[in-house]
A and B are shown apart, each in its own frame.
Chain A
Amino acid sequence: MGAPALDVRVVDAPFDPWASMAALAPPSVEDAASAGATAVFVGTMRDFNDGSPVSGMYLEHYPGMTERQLQRIVRESCRRRGVRQALVIHRVGEIRPGETIVLVATRSGHRGEAFAACREILEQLKHEAPFWKKEILPDGGSRWVRSNTAADVVPPAGEDSRA
């Protein structure tokens, strides 16, 4: 088995995760027969957060770094889990409820490593890939999600300055 085939994309327009899955279609019957498991996660924008309605969100990223970190996360997870093929597509920009935010799909010999890599990639991208959420409220206002802000108060001297 050669290096895993990794397809990682950051897109700024709505995409159809199910149509996008065609990119993961096995190139041959032999290839399909040797990879018995495909795991898929599709994350969709909700119309509520913390119990209050939201009418959309703006997802900011750091062009270049976001792609680089996603590539690293997917490459390392596939190597660790022995997964041979992965497809990751992540939206940025203005997103409306019901639109897909992220697709993570992994193909492998068996379900164990396909599920494991799919979940690991998702969890790591949530915590390590530079994306920041700003909610758009029904009244037209907007606010950064609190966990995506650096600080509300200046820390006292001597306190650790890194999260």
Chain B
Amino acid sequence: MRVRVRFFASLRETVGAAGREVEADGGATVRTIWDLATDGREPPSRLLASINLDYADLDDPVGEGDEVAFFPPVTGGER
């Protein structure tokens, strides 16, 4: 199945791409998609991910035509 992958912020610079398409087998998880999209790069310790614009865990299942995104922690800021 075809999955669209996107990278944001510092992660886009680390990976060296804003996005790509990957071909995955049925039963793929977010972690599988990460491995396919980064040629097996070790995921960073504080990696966040989403499926179709909602937050997802690395072991969540991915479906045909899904958009999977990877990005670092979001703004935060002092109170």
Chain A residues in contact with chain B, CB under 8 A?
A: 59-60, 62, 64-65, 68-69, 123, 126-134, 144-145, 147-151, 153-155, 159-163
Contacts and interface: CB of A to CB of B under 8 A. Distances in A.
Contacts, number: 100
Interface size class of B (residues with CB under 8 A): 20 to 34
Interface SS majority for chain B = loop
Contacts of B55: 128
A127 B77 CA distance: 8
Interface in B24-46: 42-46
A15 to B, nearest CB: 18
Interface of B: 6, 8-11, 14, 42-48, 50, 53-55, 57-58, 69, 71-77, 79
Contacts of B73: 147-150, 163
10 contacts: A59-B75, A126-B75, A127-B74, A128-B74, A144-B10, A144-B72, A147-B73, A149-B10, A149-B73, A162-B58
